[in-house]
Structure 1
Amino acid sequence: MRTSFQFKYFMASAMMVMLAACGGEKEATKVASDAPVYTLVFLDKTQSVNVNKNYVNEKYRQVLTDIMENNMKNKGDKLEVYFIHENTSKARAMSVMVRSEKDNMEAANATDREAIETAYAMSLQKEKGIFLRQLLAKLNQQNTGASNLSTDIWASLPVIAKANESGADVKVYYFSDMIESVKGADRRDFHVKPPKDDAQAEEEAKADSKKLEQYVIGSPQVTIVSPFEPTASSKENNPHVTHYWQTLFQELGGVGVEEL
């Protein structure tokens, strides 16, 4: 009897531990989901990307609108825009944060709750409308300086690492052809020498990750919004370049890359 009781007690205790662990996991998930969203948008301002082309402009405007709608929902959600060119990490063009705040609804009745929700929704939409106009203006801003001759995408990594330090849910968007093009013995110039196949792309990305591992980027959501039409040739839209970036982000943080 005693042995049976001990066994039952052990099983009950084990079950309680498991339930507590599950609850703790759910609580951790809940806390993580409450983290603000930190959106980084990198807009390619080099010669190789022409936002004046109808297809590119319409695609980019739609994706930027979706980003604003989906990522800027709560107080503290932040969006920063950087221009990709010769000096990417120093080229912050825009920084905005949601300030709208919902009034406390604990003691509110149904009518008051509806009024609070409506007031918050209106305030948030007003903010997002202002932000979106600023964002689309940055999209169409031209770069006619000499910095448009180089494309330093590596320089986005310290920016991502800094965002990662905030503890926010980091989402990164590259509006670019991703053709890294920087002069120097230890740099890549995909205009001059793009990877010829996936094997070379992987080899170069793994070698480069050793130089860039100082940047702790965490596990951001990374999306490449390419300027290429669906009918673009592989010579124009080189799939091995995309594979290079997929491998690099995988090496740096186990990060998957989505391409739009």
Structure 2
Amino acid sequence: MTKYIALFLLFLLSACSSDGDKTKTRTDEPIYTLIFLDKTRSVNVNNAFVARKYQQALNEIIEQNIRHKGDKLEVYFIHENTSKARALTITTRTDMEDVSAASATDREAAETEFDLALSREKAQIRQRVFQQLGAQNAGASNQETDIWASLPVIAKANESGATVNVYYLSDMIESVKGPTRRNFQVKPPKDNAQADEWAKADAGQLKRYTIGSPTITMILPFEPNASVKQNNPAVTQYWQTLFSDLGAGTVEEQ
């Protein structure tokens, strides 16, 4: 009996060790972060609530996704020409030296040095991203909101093999003229059922973009007491269904 208990405990230890190794491997994989900033007339980042919410969100995005050398962050503007509106590209340079053969004291010193260097790099990244958040778009491109055009950008990121995290800082009001496009400013979905119907129909033509299984977060600029006319739940339902049908791993709304 004692022999079987010992073998069972050995199995448990082996399984825990294996799970820990898997977790470490996943943690070490590079992260490709895409941030889409709405630069159309319907989103005012100078509004105190929006500025506060978006600055806090960007802080959290950088903190969570910038962890070591090789992590990549790109900022695109959402407007009439979204897919060509890359505003910023950054690849993390801070690297952790190999401490596998180091003493406990040397390992702790190396980790402290790495943390300090990474904190400095994050501060620089934060400053550059905030500059893009505050950038104004007074040109003609602010008249249309082409969120569909973000899909080829996500598909390109998917080709990297990295874990892809996508963030939309936008009201998600797609508004593009044309018989095959959606203009939610003129005709939003009337309810969740219609939103699902439209999204499934649109997914048929958009599946040419292989986006993989990114995590997608929509960070809306609306205050908690916003009316349905401002923050139409059927619009976000449309995006939930569309992104899910295209293969997104998770789709969240904030």
Settle same-fold status: TM greater than 0.5: yes
- Structure 2 residue aligned with 1:175: 169
**1:88-167 alignment to 2 at 5 Å?**
88-167=82-161
Match of 1:82 among 44, 64, 76: 76
Q: Secondary structure at the match of 2:246?
A: helix
Structure 1 residues 65 and 218: alpha-carbon distance in aligned structure 2, compared to 1, 3 A threshold? same
- 1:251 paired to 2:245: yes
Which one of 195, 198, 201 corresponds to residue 201 of structure 1?
195
Q: Which stretches in structure 1 are left out of the alignment for 5+ residues?
A: 1-15
For 1:230, the equivalent position in structure 2 comes to: 224
Post-superposition shift, 1:107?
2.4
Contact 2:219/2:253 (<8 A) preserved: yes
Cα deviation 1:211-256 (Å, max 9, x = unaligned): 1001111111110000000000011100000000001011110543
Distance 1:252 1:24 in 2: 33
Q: Structure 1: which amino acid aligns with 2:66?
A: M
Partner SS for 2:201 = helix
Q: What secondary structure sits across from 1:174 in the alignment? A: strand
Q: CA deviation at 1:114?
A: 1.9
CA contact (8 A) 2:211 2:248 kept: no
CA contact (8 A) 1:35 1:167 kept: no
Map residues 3-82 of structure 1 onto 2, 5 A cutoff. Answer: 30-82=24-76
- Tell me how many residue pairs correspond in the alignment: 243
8 A Cα contact 2:213 2:249, kept in partner: yes
Q: In 2, Cα distance between the equivalents of 1:249 and 1:23?
A: 36
Hey, what's the Cα distance between the residues in 2 that align with 1:103 and 1:118? 11
Partner AA of 1:217 in structure 2: I
Report which stretch shifted further, 150-159 or 119-128: 119-128
TM-score between both structures, scaled by the size of structure 2: 0.90
Q: Judging changes above 3 Å, is the alpha-carbon distance between structure 1 residues 34 and 107 closer, same or farther for their aligned structure 2 residues? A: closer
Post-superposition shift, 1:70? Answer: 1.1
The whole-number CA distance in structure 1 between the counterparts of 2:97 and 2:26 is 23
Please report how far the alpha carbon of residue 168 of structure 1 lies from its aligned counterpart in structure 2 after TM superposition.
0.7
Question: Which residue identity lines up with residue 228 of structure 1 in the other structure?
Answer: F
Q: Partner of 2:184 in structure 1?
A: 190
Q: 1:27 to 1:69 in 2, by over 3 A?
A: closer
Question: How far did 1:31 drift?
Answer: 3.6
- 1:212, 1:72 → 2: CA distance? 30
| Partner SS, residue 253 of structure 1 | coil
Instruction: Please tell me the root mean square deviation across aligned C-alpha atoms, in Å.
Output: 2.0
**Aligned-pair distance for 1:26?**
7.5
Which SS does the other structure have where 1:248 is aligned? helix
Q: Per-residue CA shift, 1:164-219, capped at 9, x if unaligned?
A: 11111110000000000001110000000000011111111011001100111111
- 5+ long unaligned stretches in structure 2: 1-10
The CA distance in 2 between the partners of 1:231 and 1:99, in whole Å, is 42
Q: Assess if the C-alpha contact under 8 Å between 1:246 and 1:256 holds in 2.
A: no
Q: Deviations over 1:3-49 (max 9, x none)?
A: xxxxxxxxxxxxx9xxx999988866654443111110000000000
Q: Equivalents in 1 of 2:104, 2:196: separation in Å? A: 58
Structure 1 partner of 2:209: 215
- Summarize the Cα distance change of 1:149–1:243 in structure 2 as closer, same or farther, 3 Å threshold: same
CA distance 1:25–1:194, shift in 2 (3 Å): same
Counterpart in the other structure of 1:5: none
